[in-house]
Amino acid sequence: MQEFEPKIVAFVCNWCTYAGADLTGTSRIKYSANVKIIRFPCTGRIDFMILMKAFENGADGIIVSGCHPNDCHYSTGNFHARRRWIVFRNLLNFTGIDTERIQFSWVSAAEGFKWADVVNNTVKKIKEIGPYENYKKIAVSTLFNEEGASNE
């Protein structure tokens, strides 16, 4: 049997983590190819519904990452985001959504190594937990008349 290759979606801010991921690449550090990066202006822009959309379209895990506190390009975007995540994680836990599958991190533009670690560790963890079966039962693709209508 083939090893389970999780689909991970990373929502990252333009100024720190995206630049950090870029540094990972230019530094020729290898990291797992399971992750698909989506760039946002700021973590403050990452609406909680965006995370739900990722699960609904077949993601097994999610990474949300931005500038360290006090380093936000817009001064306070990540502070607002942090509050939102604190509350949102509570709500997700309460509704039985697996918060283990969502990794939040601060990765600066200088932390190429950290980004590789965040991705690799998340992929490793999701591989252990397995595919997100609960959510796949209600995914968008369940409406379609044939199986395997993925959105890649």
Partner 1 sequence: MEKELKILKYSDLPKLIERFRSQGFPVLAPVRKGKVVEIEQVQTIDEIALDVLLSTQSAKKAAFPKVEKVLDYTLAKSGVTQQPVDLDSFQETILFGVRPCDASGFKSLDAIFGEEPKDQFYLQKKAKSTIISFSCPVADEYCFCTSVGGGPGNTTGSDLQFTGISKDEILVEILTEKGTKLSALFADLLSVAGSGIDKSKFLADVKVVFDVDGVVKKTTASFNNAALWLDQSLRCIGCGACAFVCPTCACFDFQDEQNTKKGVRLRLWDSCGFSLFTLHTSGHNPREVQSQRWRQRILHKFAYMPEQLHVVGCEGCGRCSRACPVDMNIKEHLTSIGAIV
Partner 2 sequence: MSELIKKVKALLNDKTINVFVGYEKGSADRIRACFARNEAQANKVFFDASCTQNLAGYLLKHEVKHFGKLGILANVAALRSIMQLASEFQIKDGEVYVLFANPDGTFVEFNDFHSIEAYLQTTDTGIKAEEQERIASLEAMSNNERWLFWNKEFEKCIKCYACRAACPMCYCHRCTTDVNQPQWIPVASHERGNLDYHLMRAMHLAGRCVNCGECATACPMDIPLNLLTYQLISPIKETFGATAGMKADATYALSTYKPDDKENFII
Residue by residue, DSSP assigns 53-96 as HHHHTT-SEEEEEEPPTT--TTSSHHHHHHHHHHHHHHHHHHTT
Which of partner 2, partner 1, none binds 57 (CB below 5-8 Å, type-dependent)? Answer: partner 1
Angle, in degrees to the nearest 10, between helices 17-26 and 112-129: 100
Alpha-carbon gap, residue 127 to 61, rounded angstroms: 10
Instruction: Please tell me whether residue 13 adopts helix, strand or coil conformation.
Output: strand
Alpha-carbon gap, residue 111 to 115, rounded angstroms: 6
Closest C-alpha among 18, 6, 33 to residue 131: 6
Alpha-carbon gap, residue 125 to 148, rounded angstroms: 25
Residues 19-58 that bind partner 1 (CB under 8 A): 57
Under rule CB under 8 A, residue 105 binds partner 2: yes
Which of partner 2, partner 1, none binds 38 (CB below 5-8 Å, type-dependent)? Answer: none
Nearer Cβ to partner 2 (28/121):
121
Residues 28-87 that bind partner 2 (CB under 8 A): 47-49, 52, 56, 69-70, 76, 79-80, 82-87
- In whole angstroms, the minimum distance from the beta carbon of 36 to partner 2 comes to 19
Which of partner 1, partner 2, none binds 145 (CB below 5-8 Å, type-dependent)? Answer: partner 1
Structure tokens at 133: 């079966």
Which of 38, 87, 138, 140 touches partner 1 by CB under 8 A?
A: 140
What is the binding site for partner 1 (CB under 8 A)? 57, 140-141, 143-146, 149-151
Q: Which residues are at the interface with partner 2 (CB under 8 A)?
A: 47-49, 52, 56, 69-70, 76, 79-80, 82-99, 103-106, 118, 134, 137-140, 143
